[in-house]
Amino acid sequence: MPSFRQSFSVPYTFDLHVTRDCFAPDNDTLVRAMKPSRENGRPVRALVYIDEGTLRQNPKLVQQIHVWFAAHEADGVQLAAAPETVTGGEVLKNDLAIVDKVGRAAFDNGICRHSYVIIIGGGAVLDAVGFGASLVHRGIRQIRLPTTVLAQCDAGLGVKNGVNRFGSKNFYGTFTPPSAIINDARFLESLDARSWRAGISEAVKVAIIKDAAFLDQLAARAELLHARDLPTMEWMIQACATLHLDHITKAGDPFEQGSSRPLDFGHWSAHRLEILSQHRLLHGEAVAIGVAIDSLYALELGRITAEDADRILTILHAVGFRLWDEVLDLRDAAGRRAVLAGLEQFREHLGGELTLAMPAGIGSRSDVHTFDEALFERALARLRRFKPAARNPATP
Ligand SMILES: NC(=O)c1ccc[n+]([C@@H]2O[C@H](COP(=O)([O-])OP(=O)(O)OC[C@H]3O[C@@H](n4cnc5c(N)ncnc54)[C@H](O)[C@@H]3O)[C@@H](O)[C@H]2O)c1
Ligand SMILES: [Zn+2]
């Protein structure tokens, strides 16, 4: 019998806008992102979701949004309903209720596929509301305003979303490129120390596997990052975002059909550590530990030098991460380290054979397909012993 092969491709274009004070009445970034049509005379409508953590620190935000939309009505943009607040953090991703919350609001307000959902918040809110929005009418347009460091340099930029289910991170999710992302540095000012720091681990991660010069610069600026220097953080976010976006848009597998997942370096254990700690560890904090573990594992494999591994751990320590957590010592009923279940979940999530990104020297990587638990134990023992030298990580 004959086969009839079909093939099509769909181009995607989206902009990352960098601004400050997005909802100042004279700021038109969001108008440009919503692309209202001048021809048909109908306004482009939007539902707005706000992370309650963001709102707590920016209590005037809802009012500013109302004022901003009123000021830009003549530009053809309109609020479809009053902005809604959603619980911030991972807890939102642990409950499917958010899907119906977004769906119900879209239904009640006549949201169509030409309308927008504007999502303002940390990575968890972007992931959970974005997942809900991606299911309504098989996907309504999304504009993301990431409000944490991690979300501005990583989570908010990607083409995927998700919620947690059955004790597995992002078990449900879709690939849905955003219509636009707006990075507004003003939101970073209100972050607490942990959420300020958490995203730095993603920058260290991507530097290790893609850009040796960026790792040098992070080492040189670790103290400024630790001291909450906003221009340094904006620089880091821009550089980290560029590396992530370059990978997503140019590496040839935006919807992750293969098993290779370079941007998930250090994440097989990080995702497990988040779950084992019952989300006491933020994603970025778990990633710092995961990157430290896999860097030491890469040292055991002879892929990076002891000096490089030490420098990576020193940078992470210098910006304030704790690199050991008690959940690393948890064991399952058979006496095996509980974190190792992350390997199996990671393999399953990727499909196909186990594929872990590992540095091959600093600034490049290649995948490995086997995992040696004895080397892992040695890497963990090194991590437990790690004592930062009393020196700047920039000086070798
Ligand atoms: N989709 C992707 O490609 C992708 C990539 C990386 C990470 N992620 C996901 O992102 C999530 C982590 O995101 P995160 O690090 O932004 O943490 P988060 O979303 O859990 O937010 C951390 C805390 O900060 C609060 N917050 C947010 N913005 C604030 C602000 N401006 N001021 C004060 N508080 C604020 C939140 O309410 C929350 O309590 C994880 O669920 C992770 O799986 C997704
Ligand atoms: Zn991550």
4 found inside a domain: no
Cβ(269)–Cβ(185) below 8 Å = no
121 found inside a domain: yes
Q: How far is the CA of 32 from the centre of ligand 1 (A)?
A: 25
Looking up tokens 């911030």, which residue turns up? 88
Classify residue 11 as exposed, middle or buried by CB count within 10 Å of its CB (0-12, 13-18, 19+): exposed
Q: Which-ligand-closest: CA of 155?
A: 1
Instruction: Measure the CA–CA gap between 257 and 286, rounded to whole angstroms.
Output: 26
Pocket test for ligand 1, best of 283, 291, 349 (most atoms within 8 A of CB): 283
Query: Residue 135 corresponds to which tokens in the numbers above?
Result: 């299911």
Question: How many domains are contained in the chain?
Answer: 2
6 found inside a domain: no
- Decide which of 131, 160, 190 is a domain's last residue: 190
Query: Residue 200 corresponds to which tokens in the numbers above?
Result: 């730095």
Q: Are residues 161 and 205 in the same domain?
A: no
Find the CATH number of the domain harbouring 157.
3.40.50.1970
150 lines ligand 1 (CB under 6 A): yes
Confidence at residue 253, expressed as pLDDT on a 0 to 100 scale: 87
Instruction: Measure the CA–CA gap between 51 and 150, rounded to whole angstroms.
Output: 15
Which residue is closest in CA terms to ligand 1's atom 13? Answer: 123
Confidence at residue 72, expressed as pLDDT on a 0 to 100 scale: 97
Locate the ligand 1 atom nearest the alpha carbon of residue 157 and give its number.
Answer: 3
Find the CATH number of the domain harbouring 261.
1.20.1090.10
319 found inside a domain: yes
Which residue is closest in CA terms to ligand 1's atom 7? Answer: 155
Tell me which residue range forms the domain holding 145: 15-190
Confidence at residue 249, expressed as pLDDT on a 0 to 100 scale: 93
Instruction: Measure the CA–CA gap between 220 and 394, rounded to whole angstroms.
Output: 5
* N- to C-terminal Cα separation, the chain: 66
396 found inside a domain: no
Q: What is the pLDDT along the chain (396 residues), one digit of tens a residue?
A: 999 999 999 999 999 999 999 999 999 999 999 998 766 778 999 999 999 999 999 999 999 999 999 999 999 999 999 999 999 999 999 999 999 999 999 999 999 999 999 999 999 999 999 999 999 999 999 999 999 999 999 999 999 999 999 988 899 999 999 999 999 999 999 999 999 999 999 999 999 999 999 999 999 999 999 999 999 999 999 999 999 999 999 988 898 888 788 899 999 999 999 999 999 999 999 999 999 999 999 999 999 999 999 999 999 999 999 999 999 999 999 999 999 999 998 888 888 789 999 999 999 999 999 999 999 999 999 999 998 876 566 655
Q: Are residues 36 and 151 in the same domain?
A: yes
Q: Are residues 186 and 205 in the same domain?
A: no
Q: How far is the CA of 346 from the centre of ligand 1 (A)?
A: 21
Confidence at residue 149, expressed as pLDDT on a 0 to 100 scale: 98
Cβ(126)–Cβ(144) below 8 Å = yes
121 lines ligand 1 (CB under 6 A): yes
343 found inside a domain: yes
Q: Are residues 317 and 338 in the same domain?
A: yes
2 found inside a domain: no
Pocket test for ligand 1, best of 58, 64, 120, 127 (most atoms within 8 A of CB): 127
Q: How far is the CA of 349 from the centre of ligand 1 (A)?
A: 21
53 found inside a domain: yes
Q: Are residues 114 and 227 in the same domain?
A: no
Instruction: Measure the CA–CA gap between 285 and 127, rounded to whole angstroms.
Output: 18
- Of 362, 365, 378, residue with least CA distance to 213: 362
